[in-house]
Amino acid sequence: MNVLDLCFFRSIQTLTHDRAPQNMKELIVAVEQEYENYDVNKLARSFLTLQDVMIQTMKQEGGNGYNHTHMYKEGLQREGILPNCLSCDAQLVAQTQALIGEAILQQ
């Protein structure tokens, strides 16, 4: 449930790996440069992915046995219709809150 672990670090790692740094100094420089040049549009898409993961996790009652939803975020972004946030069914939120409440009471 951490956007850094879910998307950002992997993305930076991939971009840095493509540079094929040969030593620690080159690696540090590559990571810093990729961080500075990171596309904010990618970051926006990452936060939508995080929201989807949270919703799918609630549907699985805390489990991770779900498939990622393909939202075609890049296309939506190109068309200028990428949402800032995803909606979540109020009943799902209530069920999740009840599940969390039950778990707390059992401790």
Tell me the pLDDT tens digit for each residue of 46-78. Answer: 999 999 999 999 999 999 899 888 899 999 999
Question: Alpha-carbon distance 93 to 71, whole Å?
Answer: 21
Per residue in 69-107, pLDDT tens?
A: 889 999 999 999 999 999 999 999 999 999 999 999 998
Domains of the chain by residue range: 3-105
For residue 48, give the nearest of 91, 6, 103, 94 by alpha carbon. 6
The tokens describing 22, both together, are: 């040969």
